[in-house]
Structure 1
Amino acid sequence: MSELTARLRAWGQRNMPTRDQMARSRWIPKSVLRTELWRFTRRSVPRAVALGLLVGILLPFAQIIFAAILSLPVRANVPIAALTTFVTNPFTTPLIWAVSYQLGNMLLHFDDKAGGAIDRLFALTDVWDAIQWLTSEGRSLALGLVIISVVSAAVGYVGSGWVWRWWVGHKRRTNLRTVQRRSRA
């Protein structure tokens, strides 16, 4: 383990509240403390990946909060749901929005006659201008975002389930080899 990783892990362990501290907090509901929301299981992890991708792509703000809140009714792993919302960040959001806009235009049979509508959105600095853009040309973006987020969530669910099965099988094979070596010796 590198020194940076060790330092980050130590910082996280120092600054993360314990379960007892959260249980004593009057701001945190008791349903958040259910252990199945914090354990890594073959069911909770794919749910969390799907939820995090759905919320991360679909919502432009407060993604971690919404992912954590929505993890409760679907019994998804809260840390994984929060972590997978980081799929959208300042580097990936412009690409996701541009692809979403083009997909929405294609499905709604709109032609971007003026060209560069998504460029105009990113050039807007005034909130009111951005709202006007969303009401006039934002339907394509909204439809594209919904489709991309749902497809990403489905792919994330299936993919994380496969990775989970592979990892468990890998661990079992490794343990079996270790036991066989010890029994021969």
Structure 2
Amino acid sequence: MSRKPNWFDKHLPSKEELAAHKWLRPWAERIVHPSLWHINRRSVSRGAALGMFFALLTPIGQIFFAALASLYMRGNVPIAAATTFITNPLTLAPVLYCEYAIGSLLLGRPVSLPSLPENEHWFWGAIQTVQYLGLPLVLGIVVLSVIAGIVTYFGIEAVWRWRSTRKWRSRRAQRARV
């Protein structure tokens, strides 16, 4: 039974077309590996964990880094790329504040944003603010991205196993009734 092609099938390149591209030829063998494109528990877990890790770690180039890491760790590339959209222009400010708060708590600092001095030039005030926020923010970014990646990986593994077990039990119960 064939299915009707959708917009993605018409407009996005296939994995074979990607592998044949001149810039991607050095990685062609990895690009066409089946686990990078099929939906299964291990590849989806890896892809989502890598996407979550890079979504919280880097504000720029997160799709590229998540996809590249998925190639080497055999994660699902489309899932990794899609998961990076957790951080977007609407969620970036709350995520950064959460990361700053986590870093401040780990360093034993109060979780408060500094106010800019009014008598100084705006540039030097901004430099002081970056110096004040820098270490807690970087520490919070690293800690939150690692924890979110680990929680995502094991969360998807657990939910996938739970659903599979439930389906098997349902099938077994149906066979027992017949």
Q: Normalising TM by the smaller chain, what interval?
A: 0.7 to 0.9
- Report the TM-score, using the length of structure 2 for normalisation: 0.79
TM superposition shift of 1:167 = 2.4
Which residue identity is paired with 1:172?
W
Give CA-to-partner distance per residue, 1:94-131, whole Å, 9 cap, x none: 1111111122122222346xx534x87xxxxx999877
1:169 is aligned to 165
1:141 is aligned to 137
Greater shift in the superposed pair: 97-106 or 65-74: 97-106
| Mapped pair 1:155 → 2:155 | no
Which residue identity is paired with 1:21?
E
- Report the TM-score, using the length of structure 1 for normalisation: 0.76
Which residue identity is paired with 1:143?
L
Determine what percentage of the aligned residue pairs are the same residue: 37
**How has the CA–CA distance of structure 1 residues 171 and 102 changed in structure 2, closer, same or farther, with 3 Å as cutoff?**
same
**How has the CA–CA distance of structure 1 residues 162 and 127 changed in structure 2, closer, same or farther, with 3 Å as cutoff?**
farther
**How has the CA–CA distance of structure 1 residues 89 and 27 changed in structure 2, closer, same or farther, with 3 Å as cutoff?**
same
Please give the residue correspondences for 1:95-106 in structure 2 after superposition, counting only pairs within 5 Å. Answer: 95-106=94-105
Which residue identity is paired with 2:17?
Q
SS in 2 for 1:110: coil
RMSD after superposition: 2.8
Give me the whole-angstrom Cα distance separating, in 2, the residues matched to 1:19 and 1:105.
44
Q: Which residue of 3, 9, 12 corresponds with 2:8?
A: 12
1:22 is aligned to 18
2:79 is aligned to 80
1:50 is aligned to 49
Give CA-to-partner distance per residue, 1:1-36, whole Å, 9 cap, x none: xxxxxxxx8211211212332232112231222112
TM superposition shift of 1:87 = 1.2
Which ranges in structure 2 are unaligned for 5 or more consecutive residues? 117-121
SS in 2 for 1:26: coil
1:65 is aligned to 64
Give me the whole-angstrom Cα distance separating, in 2, the residues matched to 1:129 and 1:63.
30
**How has the CA–CA distance of structure 1 residues 69 and 173 changed in structure 2, closer, same or farther, with 3 Å as cutoff?**
same
TM superposition shift of 1:41 = 2.3
Give CA-to-partner distance per residue, 1:145-168, whole Å, 9 cap, x none: 111111111111111001111222
TM superposition shift of 1:176 = 3.7
Which ranges in structure 1 are unaligned for 5 or more consecutive residues? 1-8, 121-125
